[in-house]
Amino acid sequence: MLENLLKDKKGLIFGVANKRSIAWAIAQACSRAGARLAFTYQGEKLKEKVEELTRTLPGEPLLLPCDVTRDEEVKEVFDRLRETFSTLDFLVHSIAFANREDLEGQFINTSRAGYLLAQEISSYSLTLLAREAAPLMASGGSILTMTYLGGERVVPGYNVMGVAKAALESSVRYLANDLGPMGIRVNAISAGPINTLAARGISGFTNILAHVAEKAPLRRNVEIEEVAHTALFLASPLSSGITGEVIYVDCGFHLLGL
């Protein structure tokens, strides 16, 4: 039944760095469901890695460079997409960055530059990409992003990224309201901790994994495929009535008060 869920749908995926990336798990699930995909990578050093991964997918996926802090690269991505895909059905935003020194110690010590950088890459980029994608989604579409509980509760070490995720989740609601009349839905997945490159930059990440496995109602950490399946649901018409939502895929950890 899942094989044809995204048949004839076209998706653009931001945030594949390597085989452990959440974006890569989402891409595989969407590809299995029949979607035609395009990917972006950040900088030449990642090109080979992303090329190697995407070669394993059917249909020669389109591969484009994109650092979301560079307007000209973002514009080029959507120009190329217009030429090759002409329309777009879904967009996956799975991007975040903060300086390592801002992901340890106290939040109060965050520098102005570190704060602005985290906001620009991890939060503002969603609005930028949504604005560019919307004209290609003339028959409606689905935009989804990745967030974490540290955007609404204090998680030691998450610091400036938590503040960026709070802005990201608020952006999801404003974008959902702006784009809803065009039939474009905007949602976020709040994933439990998963061992990826970005996650390893957070001090004490291994302790977070152990704590969640012990305390979460399901008494385990989430599997990356479980996040990918929720993304597939949000990209597909199965979720046609859902927009502006943050969906937790965290084995129930967010419920806990203590």
Binding region for ligand NAP (CB under 6 A) = 15-17, 21-23, 42-43, 46, 66-69, 94-97, 121, 146-148, 191, 193-194, 196-199
**Toward ligand NAP, which CB reaches closer, 138 or 197?**
197
**Whole-number minimum distance, CB 4 to ligand NAP, in Å?**
27
Tracing tokens 């048949």 back to the chain, one arrives at: 7
**Toward ligand NAP, which CB reaches closer, 47 or 82?**
47
| CA separation for the pair 207, 198 (Å, rounded) | 16
**Toward ligand NAP, which CB reaches closer, 138 or 256?**
256
| CA separation for the pair 133, 92 (Å, rounded) | 11
Report residue 224 as tokens.
């990356």
| CA separation for the pair 64, 42 (Å, rounded) | 9
Q: Are strands 141-147 and 10-14 parallel, antiparallel or unpaired?
A: unpaired
Amino acid 67 reads: D
**Whole-number minimum distance, CB 223 to ligand NAP, in Å?**
12
**Whole-number minimum distance, CB 29 to ligand NAP, in Å?**
14
Between helix 112-119 and helix 159-179 the angle, nearest 10°, is: 40
Catalytic amino acids?
148, 158
**Whole-number minimum distance, CB 121 to ligand NAP, in Å?**
5
**Toward ligand NAP, which CB reaches closer, 182 or 213?**
213
